[in-house]
Amino acid sequence: MKQTILFVLLLIPVFSFAQTEIQDANLAQYYYSQGDFDKAQVLFEKLYNKKSDNNDYYQGYHNTLVAQKNYAEAVKIVKKQIKRNSKNASYNIDLGQIYQLIGDEKNAMMQFNTAINNLASDEAQILGLAILFINAEKFDMAIATYQKGRKLLNSNTVFSYELANVFMKKGDVTGTIGSYLDILDNTNYDMSNVQGYLQGLLEDQKYVVELQTQLYRRIQKNPDNNMYPEMLVWMFVQRKDYDGALVQVKALDKRNKEQGARVFQLGQSAFAEAYYDDAVKSYQYIIDEYGNTGGYYMVAKTNLLQTLKTKITIANNYTEQDLTTLRNSYEIYLGEFGRGFSTIATQRDLANLYARYIHNLDSSIAILNSTIKLRTNGNKSTAYCKLDLGDYYLMDNEVWDAMLMYGQVDKDFKDDELGEQARFLNSKASYYTGDFDWAKAQLDVLKGSTSELISNDAIALSVFIQDNTGLDTSYDAMSFYARADLMIYQNKNREAITALDSLAIKFPETSLQDDILFAKARIYLQQRQFEEAAKMFQSLDESYSTDLLGDDAIFKLAELQEKYINNKEVAMELYKTIMTKYPGSIYVVEARKRFRDLRGDKVN
């Protein structure tokens, strides 16, 4: 028992000292954080001298001396630390920084260079020293460290990512880009990694110009290295400069004898991004360069037709001559490749052109009836043709023939998405003919469709029927509207407008008033009467902004102002209205994107 008490008594001074040390250290740190450097120095100096056999309080003592501009004393303790541990390069950096503070650049550089010169062929040591320089914002010395490390490790590509990062911190655009491109000289690196790092930099035009300049320079110096032109193509595509990308892709195509493969991919990318002219150039190059013996000849011609059709129809500003020229191109294509299984997609496109744009339903129906009879057809190919044929029968007012086509597809593909699509179209046909109860029952089942598009369309039409038939047991107003809606689908625009105007007068209290305005706007859009369409959307916003179509009207009006009326300022305000007035709208994300594009924001 006495021995235990004696042992405890002997430990009391040790615990007491440790307690005092912790209190002093905390207090010193508090004084330092408050800017009371005199008091902090007294405590740090006391702690440093008591613990002279280690470095626990060196940094705090050093920092307070520097903060008070007591450089002479700071130099003394740093040199003292260097004597204790000459291999710790952080002391050389501390000493170099003090020399810089007193204007002794010569000695400062001597210390920094000493740290670098003492490096060994140890990657971890090199990285550690560079990080010390970076933390001290001595970026040039960090760069020198990495460059010395390259020599020590006998590699011109090691530390490329790290060098690029330091150059970027320094604001050296040339060095940043050069370091990233150096990585491509090492075949062990994945180009996509470099692209990932560069992608964010392309928001800044300085980096775009420098990347393009250096890539061209490297292409000239190393014409057989595909990496650099491939990077240039990638850069052009990121910038949506498909014309510039095509120049490089064509050069790669010829050099590597790729037979148009890469050019074809670029055409697909340009088409997906709605750069139709560039897609046309890509496909036309393949056709002209390789002729009908090329492996991509037919598919390039197919995609060329699809692109030309999309270009003139999606812009909604085509002429009769445009349609005639396009139709002739389709006929020439089918004359060359035949009307068989391999050209079904093109035959469907031509039928669509006849039905929806040339307004020749007889020709479109004849094409599809002929296509459906092809013995080489796959079941799904036949089904798609039948769905199209059903649509065109409906446009031709042959409602029962349309429903027969939809029913056949539904029967053949009961448990497939195609079957669900057929059931939706059948439900819509029933809606057009006024059979609302049956249509709604089918639509309610389709709400659970595996296809999000079908499900959303089914929900929208079901809700529309419910909202506009729930309080009207006669369904008269709704039947009137459905017939007008069918007329719009059939391109009977004049009759549709007359019917809609009559509906508004005959049923002035109906809840369909906002839908009438929206339907008329759709007609004017189809007829390219953009000012009239804008008036309809404006009226809808002014009178029915709290109804379901309020945000639809504003978004459509914004699109009109942006794309057709060409009033960007008004379009911006309308997109802004979507974000502020309708924060829960499905259009918010797209409205924000378009607003930023119009404002000139640089976004990926």
Q: What is the DSSP string of 559-590?
A: HHHHHTS--HHHHHHHHHHHHHH-TT-TTHHH
φ/ψ of residue 263, rounded to 5: -65, -40
**455: in domain:** no
For the entire predicted model, the pTM comes to 0.74
φ/ψ of residue 73, rounded to 5: -65, -40
Rounded Cα distance, 115 and 126, in Å: 10
Q: What is the DSSP string of 1-15?
A: -HHHHHHHHHHHHHH
Nearest to 534 by CA among 580, 572, 574: 574
Token pair in block for residue 310: 């999309």
Token pair in block for residue 18: 């440790």
| Cα end-to-end span (Å), the chain | 77
Per-residue pLDDT at 35: 79
- Residues with Cβ within 8 Å of residue 28, at least 6 apart in sequence: 39, 40, 43, 44, 47, 57, 60
Q: Identity (one letter) of the amino acid at 592?
A: R
Rounded Cα distance, 56 and 565, in Å: 72
Nearest to 31 by CA among 20, 19, 43: 43
Residue 320: burial class (beta carbons within 10 Å; 0-12, 13-18, 19+): exposed
Regions of the chain short of the pLDDT cut 70: 1-19, 51-55, 86, 89, 186-189, 316, 376-378, 470-474, 601-604
**381: in domain:** no
CB 549 within 8 A of CB 518: yes
Rounded Cα distance, 265 and 188, in Å: 26
Q: Identity (one letter) of the amino acid at 415?
A: D
Token pair in block for residue 351: 């039928």
Rounded Cα distance, 470 and 112, in Å: 84
Per-residue pLDDT at 396: 94
Token pair in block for residue 536: 């309809």
Token pair in block for residue 494: 């004049």
**573: in domain:** yes
In the three-class reduction of DSSP (H, G, I as helix; E, B as strand; rest coil), residue 507 is classed as coil
Nearest to 475 by CA among 425, 521, 427, 437: 437
Rounded Cα distance, 284 and 264, in Å: 10
**45: in domain:** no
**579: in domain:** yes
φ/ψ of residue 103, rounded to 5: 85, 15
**313: in domain:** no
Nearest to 580 by CA among 536, 550, 548, 549: 550
Rounded Cα distance, 495 and 503, in Å: 12
Q: How many CA atoms lie within 13 A of 235 on its CB side?
A: 29
Rounded Cα distance, 537 and 547, in Å: 13
Rounded Cα distance, 540 and 512, in Å: 12
Rounded Cα distance, 364 and 395, in Å: 11
Per-residue pLDDT at 55: 65
Rounded Cα distance, 424 and 439, in Å: 9
Q: 395: part of which helix (H) or strand (E)?
A: helix 379-395
Q: Please state the domain count of the chain.
A: 1
Q: 542: part of which helix (H) or strand (E)?
A: helix 530-544
CA distances from 283 to 269, 310, 313, 478 (A): 12, 14, 19, 48
Classify each residue of 254-289 as buried b or exposed e, where b means 16 or more C-beta atoms within 10 Å of its C-beta: eeeeebbebbbebbebbbeeebbebbbbbbbbbbeb
Rounded to an integer, what is the distance from CA 379 to the centroid of its chain? Answer: 36
Rounded Cα distance, 249 and 238, in Å: 14
**517: in domain:** yes
Query: How many other β-carbons are positioned within 10 Å of the β-carbon of residue 199?
Result: 13
**584: in domain:** yes
Rounded Cα distance, 511 and 352, in Å: 34
Q: Identity (one letter) of the amino acid at 103?
A: G
Rounded Cα distance, 86 and 108, in Å: 17
Rounded Cα distance, 538 and 557, in Å: 7
User: Which domain, by its residues, includes 535?
Assistant: 476-599
Per-residue pLDDT at 262: 95
Give the CATH number, domain containing residue 521. Answer: 1.25.40.10
Rounded Cα distance, 499 and 516, in Å: 10
Token pair in block for residue 404: 């027969």
Q: How many CA atoms lie within 13 A of 520 on its CB side?
A: 23
Helix, strand, coil content of the chain in percent (nearest 5): 80, 0, 20
What does the H/E/C string look like for 61-111?
Answer: HHHHHHHCCCHHHHHHHHHHHHHHCCCCHHHHHHHHHHHHHCCCHHHHHHH
Per-residue pLDDT at 603: 44
Rounded Cα distance, 595 and 572, in Å: 5
CB 433 within 8 A of CB 404: no
Token pair in block for residue 584: 């829960």
